[in-house]
Structure 1
């Protein structure tokens, strides 16, 4: 059940979890880093060293099966992919997973604040150019893309998701206001009469 704003979600029924327990050679260290990055991109949370879990979805199962295969076949390691639907402390595990998503959402919220500050700086400097507008459009598109990635792995309904949706809407309104100022500056430049002696 999705959590309300500011609360952790508690599953209405037990979640089916996938747990990857693995061991890779200590050298080269890039192997461990590669596994960590893949698990992080999936949104998995570590219960202890080399044991990470994620709710079972078609996407998470596909990614974890692929990762397990790579650990065994390409990294000369060992890996076991375990599924369980009955865990003592299931709500605590769900809260741990949601806390990781809320941390990611918090990062996006911080970047939304930076977005507003960046636009405000351009307004104060009267940098009403299409180049600045395009740059801000790209920044907002990146924030939206980041949100979509986190949302895709937010399968248990972390509490900060609604805050991010609102913050992105606010960013979009700020961008619209800046765009209007750019168009106004352009129209003003076009409508100004030529200077005496010009031409």
Structure 2
């Protein structure tokens, strides 16, 4: 965790790359991988991540992929001399956007549970489907938390949203169990 006062001490990995113009799927693939790592773009084709051994490994592997596809890539480790707070803020904003996406999906999840109540679909199949959806949301959250090394503010709200989903699913499960008991 880095506070605003220590962002200048934070080490960053910076990947500067150029991908061949054709085929365009190569450029899109690199972009997806960079976003999947949680990196932020400082400029076009200049991506940054707070340093960690895992981030370095991932960027080195991506650099290798870029050069194998005929592109160029340089990987640097750096310390920000000026503007570190802005870079940390951009990194946290990217995490908060990801957290907000999960919160939106939690609203969809709760809407789906409500729909099941309205339709009176209290079956194990629906319960299993909703349980799998909650597991996916929790796994997605864990991935974001793992790369949230600067402590973005959206984590707490996302935790609360996932808790509401878990409580709703528990209530739905109880109703499924009650319906099962009535059918016997």
Which category describes the TM-score, using the shorter chain as reference length?
over 0.9
Tell me by how many angstroms 1:10 deviates.
2.8
Are 1:65 and 2:63 counterparts? Answer: no
Partner of 2:115 in structure 1? 121
Q: Which has the higher helix share?
A: 2
Q: Is 1:145 the counterpart of 2:139 in the alignment?
A: yes
Q: Distance in 2 between matches of 1:69 and 1:83?
A: 16
Alignment of 1:52 onto 2:47: yes
- What CA deviation, in whole Å up to 9, does each residue of 1:12-55 have, x standing for no partner? 34211000001111011111111101100100111111101010
Deviation at 1:11, TM superposition (A): 5.6
Paired residue total: 183
- Structure 1: segments with no counterpart, 5+ residues: 3-8, 191-199
TM-score scaled to structure 2, two decimals? 0.96
Q: Which blocks of at least 5 consecutive residues in structure 2 are unaligned?
A: none
Structure 2 SS opposite 1:164: helix
Please report the RMSD computed on the Cα atoms of aligned residues, expressed in angstroms: 1.2
Tell me the residue number matched to 1:131: 125
Q: Can you list the C-alpha shifts for 1:137-186, whole angstroms capped at 9, x where unaligned?
A: 01101100110111111111000001111111111010000000000001
Greater C-alpha Rg: 1
Structure 1 ranges of 4+ moved more than 4 A: none
Contact preservation (8 Å) 1:11, 1:94: no
Q: Work out whether residues 109 and 164 of structure 1, in 8 Å CA contact, stay in contact via their aligned partners in 2.
A: yes
